Amino acid sequence: MTRTLDWQIATVKATRQETPNVKTLTLALPSWTPHRAGQHYDIRLTAEDGYSAQRSYSVASEPERAGVIDITVERIGEGEVSPFLDDIAVVGDRFEVRGPIGGYFVWDAASGGPLLLVAGGSGVVPLMAMLRHRAASRANVPARLLYSSRTFDDVIYRDELEVLAKDGVGVFHTLTRSQPAGWTGYTRRIDDRMLAEVAKPLGRNVLAFVCGPTALVETAADGLERAGLSADRIRTERFGPSGP
C-alpha cells in the first residue's frame, strides 16, 4: 500500500484550459487516497539526464471524486514544472506525484461554517476544492467567495463559479486591471471596506480561508481581523509574487 509521502506514477486522463495561462489536469492515481479540501500534491519531473524538478500543487477536485485528482496549474514563464504541465503534457503522459499533503489549510464539511473564502489569482484552486466538497457533501453551511483577478479573462473556473452562485454560494469578483463593458463587480484591489462588505452577512463566527500572493494574503488577513474576526478563525496560504 502506497503511503502519503511515497512517490507513485500518475497518468494524465484529461486536460482542460481554464484561462490562456491556466490549465487543469485530471490525474489517475494507482494508489488513490481521499484528500481533504485544501491539501496539495508534490509533482516531480525527471529529465533523461537525471535532472529533476519538483513543485507543489493544490488539489482542485473534491474528496468525493474517487480514483483521480484535478490539479490546476498557472504557467510561470521561468518555471521548471508549470511550462511542461501547461504547454506540453497531454493525455497519457505519466510523471511522479506524492500526497495528499497538509493538515492546516483544510476544510471538511463536518467543520461547519459559515465559510468565507478570499482568493487572488490561482489561489482560488484549494478554495474551489472546498466549494466542490461543500456541494458534493450537500453541506448547507453559508459560504461566500471574494475573488481578485487581473481581468475577466483571468478568472479561473468562471463558468462553474456562476453555477455555484445560482446554487447559493455568494460569489464576489474584483477585477484589478480592466473590466468588460457593463461590469458590476468590484474594480480595485481587496481592501478593508470590501472585506467588511462581503464578510458582514456571515457574522463574526465565520471560518475564513485566504489564499493567493503574499501581499494579498497579508492585506486580507489583517483586514478581516480589523473587521472583527478572531485570528484563530483565519487560515492563510500564500505563494510567490505573481497575482492580481
pLDDT digits (tens, 9 = 90+) for 14-59: 999 999 999 999 999 999 999 999 999 999 999 888 899 999 999 9
Residue 42 makes CB contacts below 8 A (sequence gap 6+) with 54, 55, 56, 97, 98, 99, 101
The CATH number of the structural domain formed by 109-239 is 3.40.50.80
pLDDT in tens, 145-169: 999 999 999 999 999 999 999 888 9
Instruction: Return residue ranges of the chain for CATH 2.40.30.10.
Output: 8-101
Alpha-carbon gap, residue 194 to 186, rounded angstroms: 8
pLDDT above 70 covers a percentage of the chain that reads 96
* Order of all β-strands in the sheet with 207-213: 170-175, 143-149, 115-120, 207-213, 234-239
Instruction: Return residue ranges of the chain for CATH 3.40.50.80.
Output: 109-239
User: Considering the entire predicted model, what is its pTM?
Assistant: 0.94
From 2.40.30.10, 2.60.40.3120, 3.30.70.20, 2.60.120.920, which CATH number describes the 8-101 domain?
A: 2.40.30.10
